[in-house]
Amino acid sequence: MFRSRISRRPIRPRSLPMIQSRPTEQHGHHMALNVDVVIPTAICERIARATGGLVAPTIPYGNRSQPRSGGGPAFPGTINLSAHTFSLVELYRQKVRRIVVLNGHYENIWPSIEGIELALETIGRDKDLTILRMDHWEFARPETIDRIFPNGYPGIELEHASVIETSIMLALRPDLVDLSRALHDGPAQFRPYDRFPKPPAEVPPSGVLSMTEGSTAEKGEWLLADCVSRVVEIVNEEFR
């Protein structure tokens, strides 16, 4: 039985667990390997408090980090799962019928969709089961993005270990951020294709794909507020 960090009650039929999916992955010289652990877990806990949901154990690893969105597997500390393995996590057998999957790792997008589709093909689409799949960065309001990036938003792909994640970590766990160690060797200028097996030379040595300059805890709180408030609205609309 899964137990929530919020209520400490076992999951009951038709409960609403919040599942975090993320990897253990390098996030530059200035942050720890658990950025994609801290951020989605904290968001799930805030949403669960507001909706009466339960927080299921976080999936400890994510799908393969890629050079153009996460720096790639060449960096020490990045631990990968295959898409197949990632997609096999299940909760239906535990009598859970309302599920929110909150993704915190860019490369998990399609494996998480594959896992949901495999489950529906096995269980059946006419069952009393509803799954909401979402990526936390999608809920930043345009006006918030404009405030954070007055000179232009580089895009979520290049925001790996950059201003968005660094600011949220400064808001949640400043003890795990040391901006004095940031190398400021970005932003990356990637070609529009992937190269295997050798990663492209455009990956910055720091593993930070854009820039960390301008990161603040205040900006992190703006982003957290956007995400939590919007997901709470969605959960209440879909499940209540």
How far is it, in rounded angstroms, from Cα 64 to Cα 81?
6
**Catalytically annotated residue among 45, 135, 159, 165:** 165
CATH number of the structural domain spanning residue 229: 3.40.50.10310
201: tokens are: 């030379």
Give catalytic status of residue 178 as yes or no: no
Residue type, 38: V
Report the alpha-carbon distance of residue 163 to residue 167 in Å, rounded.
Answer: 6
Q: Tell whether 5 is covered by a domain.
A: no
Write the Ramachandran bin of 28: left for phi over 0, alpha for psi from -120 to 50, otherwise beta: left
Residue 25 designated active-site: yes
Domain that holds residue 232: 17-239
- The answer to whether 36 is a known catalytic residue is yes
Residue 226 located in a structural domain: yes
Total count of domains within the chain? 1
Closest CA to 14 of 57, 50, 58, 52: 52
Active-site option among 45, 107, 159, 226: 107
Q: Which of 45, 135, 136, 160 is catalytic?
A: 160
DSSP-derived 3-state class of residue 22 = coil
| Residue of 30, 105, 135, 226 marked catalytic | 105
Q: How far apart are CA 149 and CA 19, in angstroms?
A: 30
Considering the candidates 27, 30, 135, 136, report the single residue annotated as catalytic: 27
pTM of the model: 0.88
3-class secondary structure, 182: coil
> Max CA-CA distance within the chain?
54
The answer to whether residue 9 sits within a structural domain is no
**Would you say 134 and 102 are in contact if contact means Cβ atoms under 8 Å apart?**
yes
- Asked if residue 6 belongs to a domain, the reply is no
29 is catalytic: no
Distance in angstroms (rounded) separating the CA atoms of residues 133 and 233: 14
Q: According to the model, what pLDDT value does residue 6 have?
A: 36
Please tell me the predicted confidence (pLDDT) of residue 53.
Answer: 92
Is 107 in the active site? Answer: yes
d(CA 213, CA 152): 14
pLDDT tens-place values along the chain, 240 residues long:
333 333 344 334 345 777 766 679 999 999 999 999 899 999 999 999 999 999 988 887 889 999 999 999 889 889 888 988 888 877 888 888 899 999 999 999 999 999 999 989 988 887 888 999 999 999 999 999 999 999 999 999 899 999 999 999 999 999 999 999 999 998 999 999 998 887 778 899 999 999 999 999 999 999 999 999 999 999 999 997
Report if residue 3 sits inside a domain: no
